[in-house]
Structure 1
């Protein structure tokens, strides 16, 4: 098995870690910038010399002290939740000012248009026929085959159409807040990595091949999603963790949660990228051919599922999903799967597959 790697992500946060502002910026992000380069600042140097962190009350480490664009209060990057790893570029709002942001509301028609739903959510016959076809496949499978290997399970959507509307609305609001488009597929754009670069045979240590039956289960989940029968998941905003995902119904172990989607690009083009959710898709023997998934402009609910702090026992206990890269018909795909039963209301977390020394998961909540 070749598990998926993931680059720096701060517990579902919508805030990105990026390089410091250049001198031509209209406003500097840190107190240190203002004090050392006051001639570029919009305000006078002395107005900010006594700014202190609103959380710890200290004015030390001015290079780590961020200024809110709205209230002009200071915050140490390490004191913020989620933690900010690098000085942001452009506008930045403190948690209090950011919390005043209005959340866009979506009508049923707009939700249908946003997710390009093919049929009405009230089409119960369609849902019943999909469930019946899954049961027929199970009955036709020999018992010996059933016992040989545990297969992936399709998610079970909520029975109530109004619940599914609420679930999709929460995702649409989160994607809109990050100015993202919904996409349930990997996207190959001109100027980025072509689809031909996604060749599972290039994986340096080999990749687990997804069984034919599991591919059918994955396609079955995709067909449900296209009809508005989404997984029982809600995107919620937490003042500490940012956008995160919780179960809106019970989920059984080995259930497919979601496929990780977004724009596909070469890793070499994204080594200095400021994205907080870049996912490894292919690790090639030739590093120049390694590719990643970048859900900064397009993506789905997988974008908001959080990583865990795998340096602590409490952090590891949170893990209820695993993230695995599979060879699906010769192409690499990343799938999130429940690794234990998940109760309604429980938040979803997955680990970083043991790469504790490569990724700073000790910063996670």
Structure 2
């Protein structure tokens, strides 16, 4: 998808902190600290001390695994219960480390329609018009199509309305469990970066422009989702990986999976942020203008697509989605696109790092 697609795709503000100073203050010897899960005191940089009881836990012994040591306060599962007696950050940490399957969102159409603010169900006339548009877009001979560059494809929703409800309920379950509201677009909140700061022209080295045909495909995907024609994806809970996303039907290479959305903020405001899901939106020549997407409060299914362990060939083979930043009408947008054919039941993974290799993925499964 061009050289621009190889630019930075994700950012991590700061580096994982080393051994906590509390360990030396408490016992004078880091070797005295043991992981409550495995009993080992090895891998000290990845052995955290609970800010409530000073007990130790490896980030890779928690369920689900933590990708890195949190920058702020962290509380073990015991200290997080009951969550009402802790701060908001401690309550969030409780969800992160307790490997309990979340309560399922009720499979009731009216509740799901209200949760996602679905406009209406498609009428037969709408479906017919959409089908004709697809046929016009895909027309032409094989010889003619080879002369054109490869285009993005819109996702194909599951034909069964009941199955689409199950897909939406799975996402609603994950969003509810993480305390996030559903959003399918970038949001600009007071005190964060304004929309006027999102200017693709500020990208260092330039940003790939989404051509008119692909922009129409993206708009078509958004219209389908707004009326309840959902991407064929299921969010499942895994005790090791946490929330994961699975294909609920085969997905073709170059299909738009989703857009990465959330609150937009300046990177400088997130240098000590504890979130592990920030995504690069704008990597400006002037660092003060760089932007990130923060999906902790408002997000869609993109937040739950997991990263690969790109330190091993086996991990890299699992990657079936790529993350590409585009200039869409002068603004920066981030799309997750299938980078090969994906089978039904296959989990979706993409490389958090792209080309910068600054995010620690060696504990990813």
TM-score (norm 2): 0.81
User: Aligned partners of 1:62, 1:320: CA distance in 2, in Å?
Assistant: 31
Confirm whether residue 270 of structure 1 aligns to residue 252 of structure 2. Answer: no
Confirm whether residue 7 of structure 1 aligns to residue 11 of structure 2. Answer: yes
- Residues 141, 195 of structure 1: CA spacing in aligned structure 2 closer, same or farther, 3 A cutoff? farther
Q: Secondary structure at the match of 1:75?
A: strand
Q: Of 52, 61, 64, which residue of structure 1 is paired with 2:47?
A: 64
Q: Secondary structure at the match of 1:111?
A: helix
Q: Secondary structure at the match of 2:292?
A: strand
Q: Secondary structure at the match of 2:327?
A: strand
1:5-40 C-alpha deviation (Å, 9 max, x unpaired): 21359xxxxxxx9999xxxxxxxxx99579839xxx
CA contact (8 A) 2:48 2:56 kept: yes
- Structure 1 gaps of 5+ residues are 10-16, 21-29, 38-49
Partner of 1:134: 134
Partner of 2:112: 111
- Once the two structures are TM-superposed, the CA of residue 130 in structure 1 deviates from its matched residue by 1.3
CA contact (8 A) 2:11 2:292 kept: no
- Residues 315, 115 of structure 1: CA spacing in aligned structure 2 closer, same or farther, 3 A cutoff? same
User: Aligned partners of 2:96, 2:260: CA distance in 1, in Å?
Assistant: 28
- Residues 4, 257 of structure 1: CA spacing in aligned structure 2 closer, same or farther, 3 A cutoff? farther
User: Aligned partners of 2:194, 2:141: CA distance in 1, in Å?
Assistant: 38
Q: How many residues align?
A: 335
Partner of 2:68: 85
Confirm whether residue 75 of structure 1 aligns to residue 21 of structure 2. Answer: no
CA contact (8 A) 1:7 1:276 kept: no
Partner of 1:241: 241
Partner of 1:99: 100
- Residues 287, 238 of structure 1: CA spacing in aligned structure 2 closer, same or farther, 3 A cutoff? same
User: Aligned partners of 2:35, 2:224: CA distance in 1, in Å?
Assistant: 48
Q: Secondary structure at the match of 2:296?
A: coil
1:155-201 C-alpha deviation (Å, 9 max, x unpaired): 00000001100000000110111111111111112221111111111
User: Aligned partners of 1:256, 1:299: CA distance in 2, in Å?
Assistant: 17
- Structure 2 gaps of 5+ residues are 75-88
Q: Secondary structure at the match of 2:234?
A: strand
- Once the two structures are TM-superposed, the CA of residue 73 in structure 1 deviates from its matched residue by 8.3
User: Aligned partners of 1:217, 1:278: CA distance in 2, in Å?
Assistant: 26
CA contact (8 A) 1:118 1:227 kept: yes
Partner of 1:46: none
Q: Of 36, 54, 60, which residue of structure 1 is paired with 2:26?
A: 36
User: Aligned partners of 1:252, 1:93: CA distance in 2, in Å?
Assistant: 38
User: Aligned partners of 1:330, 1:179: CA distance in 2, in Å?
Assistant: 32
CA contact (8 A) 2:306 2:349 kept: yes
Partner of 1:41: none
Partner of 2:83: none
- Once the two structures are TM-superposed, the CA of residue 63 in structure 1 deviates from its matched residue by 9.2
Partner of 1:332: 332
- Residues 144, 327 of structure 1: CA spacing in aligned structure 2 closer, same or farther, 3 A cutoff? same
Partner of 2:211: 211
User: Aligned partners of 2:41, 2:280: CA distance in 1, in Å?
Assistant: 39
Q: Secondary structure at the match of 1:343?
A: coil
User: Aligned partners of 1:63, 1:352: CA distance in 2, in Å?
Assistant: 19
- Once the two structures are TM-superposed, the CA of residue 133 in structure 1 deviates from its matched residue by 1.3
Partner of 1:27: none
User: Aligned partners of 1:130, 1:116: CA distance in 2, in Å?
Assistant: 21
Larger deviation, residues 148-157 vs 98-107:
98-107
TM-score (norm 1): 0.81
User: Aligned partners of 1:114, 1:247: CA distance in 2, in Å?
Assistant: 22
- Once the two structures are TM-superposed, the CA of residue 361 in structure 1 deviates from its matched residue by 2.1
Alignment map for 1:253-332 (pairs within 5 Å): 253-332=253-332
CA contact (8 A) 1:6 1:278 kept: yes
- Residues 65, 203 of structure 1: CA spacing in aligned structure 2 closer, same or farther, 3 A cutoff? closer
